[in-house]
Homo-oligomer: A and B are copies of this chain.
């Protein structure tokens, strides 16, 4: 658990884990779109192949950016949730969104991102709070099970 890193540089090391075309999109789906299952993530606009998604989820679990659980009533479906480490990527996701929005309009039709004029730290906090309230609050460590019977929005 050492040779997969090209150097001791924190930027380089972060890129060794999330530096590819798919990993941060999976995090975006979970964090911003509140997706929790293999199927839901598979159905994104960008059409990730199942083999790649499976490999990435395995790797994200290995580095503890996500963890896997189940609903009480469903033995089959896996529920993927972000850990603190994973939620810590929020600022990176936000900065990518801001940069893409400001710098790529001449090359691609970029979807409008609303609320970009608000202060960045507020956006980051809002995204994290929303993920916590809408998704993570249903996680009960007592039984290591994801319990959607707690009725909340989403």
Known interface pairs A14-B96, A20-B19; A8-B109 also in contact (CB < 8 Å)? yes
A11 to B33 CA separation, bound complex (whole angstroms): 13
Copies of this protein, total: 2
**Contact assessment for A46 and B7 in the assembled complex, using a CB-CB cutoff below 8 Å:** yes
State in angstroms the CA–CA spacing of A98 and B9 once bound together: 11
Q: Is A108 an interface residue (CB 8 A)?
A: yes
- Whether A14 contacts B104 by the Cβ 8 Å rule is yes
Contact residue among B1, B6, B14, B107 (Cβ-Cβ distance under 8 Å from A5): B107
**A19 shortest CB reach to chain B, Å:** 5
Q: Can you show 15 pairs from A to B with CB atoms below 8 A apart?
A: A2-B108, A5-B107, A6-B45, A6-B47, A9-B111, A10-B96, A11-B96, A11-B97, A13-B107, A19-B19, A20-B21, A85-B103, A88-B102, A92-B95, A92-B96
